[in-house]
Amino acid sequence: MDSHSEAASTYEVLMFSSKLRLPPNFTEEKCMRLLELTLIGGEMTETSFVEQKKRVTVGVEVLEPDRLARTVLCTIHQPSMSCCELFDGLLLLQKGGYTAYFGDLGDDSAKMLEYFA
């Protein structure tokens, strides 16, 4: 469930989450670098639509420190190849919820492509 304040910008949501999850010495600049974000203009004031809220939720989970060993899970319908290349592993489900593929993708998805060859 995406439960972010309607009044908060994406930047404010991510900074709030970083203050709650990360050590006190973790600066806003470090947070922006961790998320690979660039502040454009004076503020991030975009309107938060449904898809934007989902992206913010993923960003909030990325801010979680690795020592808690959490997995970020997301559902993407018809992802582009460039989107798939961002992931380390994949759980691909077929109709009925059965597993079609589960494992590492490998460089350029080589492991997955070899599996289906």
Residue 32's pLDDT is 77
pLDDT value, residue 72: 60
Give 101's strand partners: 92
The answer to whether position 4 is within a domain reads: no
Structural domain boundaries, residue 98? 81-116
Low-confidence ranges of the chain (pLDDT < 70): 1-8, 37-58, 60-74
86 shares a domain with 62: no
User: In this structure, is residue 61 part of a structural domain?
Assistant: yes
pLDDT of residue 84: 74
Q: Say whether both 52 and 17 belong to one domain.
A: yes
89, part of any domain: yes
95 is a domain residue: yes
Residue 74 within any structural domain of the chain: no
- Ordered DSSP codes for 91-107: EEE-TTS-EEEEEE--G
88 and 39 in one domain? no
What does the pLDDT read at residue 114? 92
pTM: predicted TM-score of the whole model, two decimal places: 0.40
Contact between 101 and 87 under an 8 Å Cβ cutoff? The reply is: no
Question: Could you give the 3-state DSSP secondary structure of residue 90?
Answer: strand
Residue with tokens 């590492």: 104
Asked whether residue 50 falls in the same domain as residue 91, the answer is no
Domain count, the chain: 2
Same-domain check for residues 29 and 56 = yes
